A and B are shown apart, each in its own frame.
Chain A
Amino acid sequence: MSKQAYEFNNSNPNATVLRRLDPMVIEKPRAPIHIHTYGGETPFFKGLTEGRLMATKCANGKCDPSGKEGYFHLPPRVYCPDCSEKMEWHDVTDLARRTAKVHTHITVERPGAFNRVPMPCELISVEIEGVATVIMSQLRGAKPEIGMPIQPEFNTTNPTFTILDLSWVPRR
């Protein structure tokens, strides 16, 4: 009656597995797929597949402080967080190659379900000169340290079309 070895994430639609009689406990399997759009942030994800790091910047000279100070946003934003005008796209690959550093880091050993990053994963937050924000990403081929100079790498040969197409290595 009750199944000893079981799998959650069971995709067999006919399976109703009784786990316990009193109180009565059953399994409810499902495996849904979501169709998801990157919309106006497409240039960023397309850029990764082409080996480019794309950021946005507010072009409104009256905007305080984003437009006036003219720094980049990464993750990019379609609209400016200060003046809500549309932002401009800029290629910051070279800037990142020259100035990126590890702001903070952590080693992930045990991921959640549906993870596709090889474990252990060195999770990092990345500081780049002239960028107001600190994007989260992964470091490959080294143990991170706060302040470590790094440069971006892109998965252009077999892209996943996700943020995983961006990673970082120690600056050469």
Chain B
Amino acid sequence: MIKFTNRNLAAPKQMRPVYVVAAGQSDFRKHYPEKKTEELCVEAFRMMALENNLKTSGIQELKGYIHSCYYGHFADHFGDQLLGESVIHDRLGLDPMGNVGIKTGGATGGSAMWMAANAIASGYSDCVLCMGWERMDEVDTWTGNHYISTAADKDFETELGHIYTGYYALMAQRYWKTFGKSAPSFRRTMSKIAVKNRGYACSNPFAQAPARISVEDVENSPIVADPLRFYDACLMSVGASCALLCDEETAYKLSDNPMRFWIAGGSHTLRTADRRHMEIPLLPNERDNKEIAKLYHELKGGDKGGGEKYPGFTGFLAARMAAHYAYEMTGIVDPITDLDLVELHDAFTISDIQTYEDIGIKPYSRGPEYIESGDAYLEVPRDGSFGKNLAGKRGRLPSNLSGGLIGCMHAVGATGIMQIAEVFWQLQNRWSYFHEREEMWTRFGKTKPKDFVNLQVPNAKRGLAISHAGVGSHVTCSILMHPSAVIKK
């Protein structure tokens, strides 16, 4: 479909408010032979039940509230276990409550939250568990790359090298050459994202790949698929994340500090080949905006045409659609002023930039400005990569304080839930509890670094998380708000 009616675009409805009440996660590692996937899930569940200031007296009392379960696990062939949902459900001790598995590639965690939220919003359940996990360490990298490539079209794409990064890089190359103009300054912006997210991971005890690196380190790292280098790419991880969602009454029975939750999903073709030309669907901050109308007209090549097609290989239509639905649901107009933090799906530095445009943080073709303005930082770095006028200033919309997929993890089925958990704890003002305390580090066999930075966003009231699959086949957009800061009553 490339033409829509108002019915297609209608704001999704929640029949009653949905709340996130608690969250938990394991730590994330590339290889995790010490623990089975089931153990990691139970550990995430225990954190959710016992460390979120719930008013229940223990795990068994909490289990007495759970009515249905939504499980995100993407890759059966990696895990080598069909119906893994049933294994996890049994180990969590939640039989015979109903459970269902949800899989939408990299967006699996987001999609599981989408279905979990709908169960609350519809009135089907008053309290649900959403849990996601992934195990990607049973095969070697070559086989792993083949497995991932089977998420491309098996007849028309996978045969071409069995390497998903290549299919992704086709889009990156087009963006790099058209909007990025192959410019060193654009390359530098990409590098800053790789530095930023690995740096934030240094203050996250759950994170797999913390590192203090420089833009030069990124630009000297090996090319994976031009223009993407080693440090531009996300991780492959083992781990689990979970969240507890409730209706209003149950939320306040269980917690004094639950957060309102909205989520919506969009999709687009599996094959990049099938992206047909269409009009750019405008977000609230782009409508009736002469500057935007002029910019988008120019992107298409002006009156002569022949410019960049939309979504072409430069935009993720699924992300735009998910943001459209989520903003319509919540009343968000301008993400930079209406939100306090975001967790984006930084599979690659370049796709992170593309997403800034898709969700309206910056207009199409101007994504790098989000980084270069300093807005994407909690505090703009003083390492010389920014001008004196910006260094040390507070950004307006810090992004991926968890470290994201580049610094923290990409345990596919868990990723989207990890992002929501991080935003949730930020809004609860409990980031420090889960990241700063010495015990959190020793629990995972780590030493808290000397250069640890407090990344709690002061007075954070609203956050967003994007969960994204493949070359943009599925995207969910989640919005969390402190109940005192809800925009659309």
Q: What is B's interface to A at a CB cutoff of 8 Å? A: 1-3, 33-35, 80, 138-140, 142-149, 153-157, 159-164, 166-167, 169-174, 177-178, 225-226, 271-277, 313
Neighbouring B residues of A138 by C-beta, 8 Å: 160
Q: How far apart are A106's CB and chain B's nearest CB, in angstroms?
A: 4
Q: Is residue A23 contacting chain B, with contact meaning CB distance below 8 A?
A: yes
Q: Is residue A112 contacting chain B, with contact meaning CB distance below 8 A?
A: yes
Q: Which of A123-153 contact B (CB under 8 A)?
A: 123-125, 132-138, 146
Is the beta-carbon distance between A135 and B273 smaller than 8 angstroms? Answer: yes
Q: Output the nearest chain B residue to A45 by Cβ-Cβ distance.
A: B155
A104-B159 CB under 8 A given contacts A65-B2, A113-B143? no
Is the beta-carbon distance between A164 and B159 smaller than 8 angstroms? Answer: yes
Is the beta-carbon distance between B33 and A25 smaller than 8 angstroms? Answer: yes
Among candidates A81, A111, A134, A146, residue contacting B273 with C-beta atoms closer than 8 Å: A134
Neighbouring A residues of B225 by C-beta, 8 Å: 106-109
Chain A, residues 8-27, CB within 8 Å of chain B (1/0): the string is 11000000000010010100
A134-B153 CB under 8 A given contacts A106-B226, A112-B143? no
A163-B156 CB under 8 A given contacts A112-B145, A113-B143? yes
Query: Which of B3, B154, B162 is packed against the most chain A CB atoms within 10 Å?
Result: B162
Neighbouring A residues of B275 by C-beta, 8 Å: 133-134
Q: Give the complex CA separation of A73 and B161 in angstroms.
A: 23
Among candidates B156, B163, B178, residue contacting A111 with C-beta atoms closer than 8 Å: B163
Q: How far apart are B354's CB and chain A's nearest CB, in angstroms?
A: 14
Q: How far apart are A118's CB and chain B's nearest CB, in angstroms?
A: 10
Q: How far apart are A151's CB and chain B's nearest CB, in angstroms?
A: 18
Q: Give the complex CA separation of A38 and B154 in angstroms.
A: 11
Q: Output the nearest chain B residue to A125 by Cβ-Cβ distance.
A: B170
Q: Is residue A121 contacting chain B, with contact meaning CB distance below 8 A?
A: yes
Q: Give the complex CA separation of A117 and B158 in angstroms.
A: 11
Q: Is residue A99 contacting chain B, with contact meaning CB distance below 8 A?
A: no
Q: Is residue A82 contacting chain B, with contact meaning CB distance below 8 A?
A: yes
Q: How far apart are A169's CB and chain B's nearest CB, in angstroms?
A: 16
Neighbouring A residues of B35 by C-beta, 8 Å: 23
Q: Is residue A103 contacting chain B, with contact meaning CB distance below 8 A?
A: yes
A38-B155 CB under 8 A given contacts A25-B33, A106-B226, A136-B272? yes
Q: Give the complex CA separation of A146 and B178 in angstroms.
A: 10
Is the beta-carbon distance between A146 and B156 smaller than 8 angstroms? Answer: no
| Given A8-B143, A23-B34, A163-B156, 11 additional A-B pairs, CB 8 A | A8-B139, A8-B142, A75-B271, A81-B274, A104-B171, A106-B226, A111-B161, A112-B142, A112-B147, A136-B271, A163-B155
Q: Is residue A88 contacting chain B, with contact meaning CB distance below 8 A?
A: no
Is the beta-carbon distance between B161 and A163 smaller than 8 angstroms? Answer: no
Is the beta-carbon distance between A113 and B146 smaller than 8 angstroms? Answer: yes
Is the beta-carbon distance between B271 and A103 smaller than 8 angstroms? Answer: no
Neighbouring A residues of B170 by C-beta, 8 Å: 104-106, 123-125, 136
Neighbouring A residues of B155 by C-beta, 8 Å: 38, 41, 45, 75, 162-163
Q: Is residue A116 contacting chain B, with contact meaning CB distance below 8 A?
A: yes
Query: Which of B155, B161, B166, B225 is packed against the most chain A CB atoms within 10 Å?
Result: B161
A121-B161 CB under 8 A given contacts A112-B148, A113-B143, A136-B272? yes
Q: Output the nearest chain B residue to A77 by Cβ-Cβ distance.
A: B274
Minimum-distance CB pairs A-B, first 8: A112-B145, A112-B162, A112-B146, A104-B174, A113-B146, A106-B169, A113-B142, A111-B161
Q: Give the complex CA separation of A64 and B2 in angstroms.
A: 9
Q: Give the complex CA separation of A8 and B154 in angstroms.
A: 22
Neighbouring B residues of A64 by C-beta, 8 Å: 3
Q: Give the complex CA separation of A112 and B172 in angstroms.
A: 20
Neighbouring B residues of A73 by C-beta, 8 Å: 274
Q: Give the complex CA separation of A107 and B313 in angstroms.
A: 17
- 17 A-B residue pairs with Cβ-Cβ distance under 8 Å, sorted by A, are A64-B3, A65-B2, A65-B3, A73-B274, A103-B174, A105-B170, A108-B161, A110-B163, A111-B161, A111-B163, A112-B147, A121-B161, A121-B166, A123-B161, A133-B274, A136-B160, A146-B178
Is the beta-carbon distance between A133 and B273 smaller than 8 angstroms? Answer: yes
Q: Is residue A115 contacting chain B, with contact meaning CB distance below 8 A?
A: yes
Q: Give the complex CA separation of A121 and B164 in angstroms.
A: 14
Q: Output the nearest chain A residue to B175 by Cβ-Cβ distance.
A: A104
Is the beta-carbon distance between A75 and B273 smaller than 8 angstroms? Answer: yes
